[in-house]
Amino acid sequence: MTTPLLAYLPDLVEEHLEEIQFLWPIRERGLRSPRMTLRDIRNFDDRIDAHADGALAPGDSALRFLEPLLEADDEMASFAATFVLLRLGTTDARARVRSAFTEASGKRLSGIARALQMGAADSLIEDIASAYASDDAMRCALAAEALCYRTRWRRSHERLLALLSNDDPIVKVSAWRSVANLGLTVDSATYATALRDDDARVREAALDAGAWTSIAAVLTFAREAAASPTKEQMAAYRLLAAIGDPRDTTLVARLIDTPALGVDRFALAASLGATRLVPQLLEGLTSSNPREAAAAGEAFTRLTGADLGPGTPVTLPPEDGHEPDEFETEFLDEAVILDAAKARAHWDRVAPALSRSQRIAHGRDITTSIPHDAVVWLDMRARHEWWMRARFNRQWSGSAMQLDVFPQRV
């Protein structure tokens, strides 16, 4: 690519790159968000796409803006630079990405690797494959993830499976994600070890992999863990609600009734989608704890689709219950508490129709399918859980990475 004849504004190029760094983490969180829809994600994708094109307005001269970001020990900076370099696609641009991926570490390596998963990296497949064969466990694990996204796997899985026993929890998490994406079979002893891991991230990654590869034992594990609720097993309870069935309603109800699990327990009702849990959410709306009331309200809305008006805005106290100082007060989270009376009246109106459904989301039946217009109302967390459940029940042959790829057009 040659430098265009028209002049460009350096400040504008830098702004495009800053916007990619700002928007991408929001997009990543949005993929599992209870507050964003697929239409929201597509809008973010369009904006990121436009900013990437804008950053390339200088043509080859864009390299002078990208190089400092590529060298930075910052995940989003290295991501943005790599993502744009891959789109530039020149021999020099590919060489710079190749070199950076070979020698980077830490946050910088993570950003480059994520761009290799999400960006136009087909021309670097052999380089990624070489990294997979390296002795560097972290680079190997991230290369395996990139290969999952770029091409049908044609190499041995032995190196990848060995990473599941690595000492670094981040390496193990990455390897479990590849297991999920590839649909690999992993022996029960390895699963058992992972589910006892000291690191909660490893336990959650193994549970997810089990769900995405139809391992019935992970649901059994989650059900057994629910018998004696502890906050350390919240990942198992989220899995139980996401892929469980009506038989698990009593277990989930018990979890919601366990305050020691924290406010995230209310979201379990929205994940299971069982109308029998609505009374617990209505009770939660009356809690004197604003965090609990707000969480119960969000779950109620996700489950029933209720539009009850603006609600009451509140400033949430610190999660650990301590009294905030003047400085902390300026940065406390805010939320909205629904009107409990309006919520109860709404449920009284819609309950007769919705109670006939096995699983609902936003007031719609999603037991066997997702309606065509779900792009504008189904939240991304519910969407992810629906496809995970379909995969677990062998009703879909796809994988988790299809719900993450850029851009989202599914």
What average pLDDT does this structure show over 41-54? 97
Residue with tokens 């990619």: 20
What average pLDDT does this structure show over 310-336? 79
Q: What proportion of the chain, given as a percentage, has pLDDT over 90?
A: 88
The model's pTM is 0.93
Residue 315 vs residue 145, higher pLDDT: 145
The pLDDT, as a whole number, for residue 6 is 57
The pLDDT, as a whole number, for residue 155 is 66
Q: Which two tokens stand for residue 7?
A: 């002049």
How far, in Å, CA of 41 to CA of 409, rounded? Answer: 10
The pLDDT, as a whole number, for residue 253 is 98
The pLDDT, as a whole number, for residue 300 is 98
Residue 3: is its pLDDT beyond 60?
A: no
Which pairing describes strands 360-361 and 364-365: parallel, antiparallel, or unpaired? Answer: antiparallel
Residue with tokens 């007060």: 329
Q: Strand ranges (DSSP E) for 31-150?
A: none
pLDDT digit string, tens, across residues 70-82: 999 999 999 999 9
| pLDDT band for position 4 (cuts 50, 70, 90) | low
Residue 5: is its pLDDT beyond 90?
A: no
pLDDT digit string, tens, across residues 240-267: 999 999 999 999 999 999 999 999 999 9
Reported as half-sphere exposure (CB side, CA atoms, 13 A), residue 328 has a value of 9
How far, in Å, CA of 89 to CA of 13, rounded? Answer: 18
- Going 92 to 94 to 97 to 101, the CA torsion angle's sign is negative
404: part of which helix (H) or strand (E)? none
| pLDDT band for position 335 (cuts 50, 70, 90) | confident
The pLDDT, as a whole number, for residue 320 is 72
Bridge partners, 360 (sequence order): 365
Residue 336 sits at φ, ψ, to 5 deg, of -125, 135
Lowest mean pLDDT across 59-63, 147-151, 389-393 = 147-151
| pLDDT band for position 179 (cuts 50, 70, 90) | very high
Helix (H, G, I), strand (E, B) or coil at 323: coil
141: part of which helix (H) or strand (E)? helix 137-150
The pLDDT, as a whole number, for residue 224 is 98
How far, in Å, CA of 83 to CA of 74, rounded? Answer: 14
Q: What proportion of the chain, given as a percentage, has pLDDT over 70?
A: 96
Residue 7: is its pLDDT beyond 70?
A: no
Distance of CA 143 to the CA centre of its chain: 20
Helix (H, G, I), strand (E, B) or coil at 115: helix
Residue with tokens 């037991």: 367
pLDDT digit string, tens, across residues 217-245: 999 999 999 999 999 999 999 999 999 99
The pLDDT, as a whole number, for residue 319 is 76
CB 57 within 8 A of CB 4: yes
What average pLDDT does this structure show over 107-123? 97
The pLDDT, as a whole number, for residue 108 is 98
Bridge partners, 315 (sequence order): 334
| pLDDT band for position 176 (cuts 50, 70, 90) | very high
Residue with tokens 């109106």: 349
Round the average pLDDT of the chain to a whole number and report it.
Answer: 94
Indicate the residue type of 276. R
Q: Measuring CA to CA, which residue among 213, 151, 244 is closest to residue 399?
A: 213
Residue 169: is its pLDDT beyond 70?
A: yes
What average pLDDT does this structure show over 128-146? 95
| pLDDT band for position 310 (cuts 50, 70, 90) | confident
Residue 319 vs residue 116, higher pLDDT: 116
pLDDT digit string, tens, across residues 200-216: 999 999 999 999 999 99
122: part of which helix (H) or strand (E)? none
400: part of which helix (H) or strand (E)? none
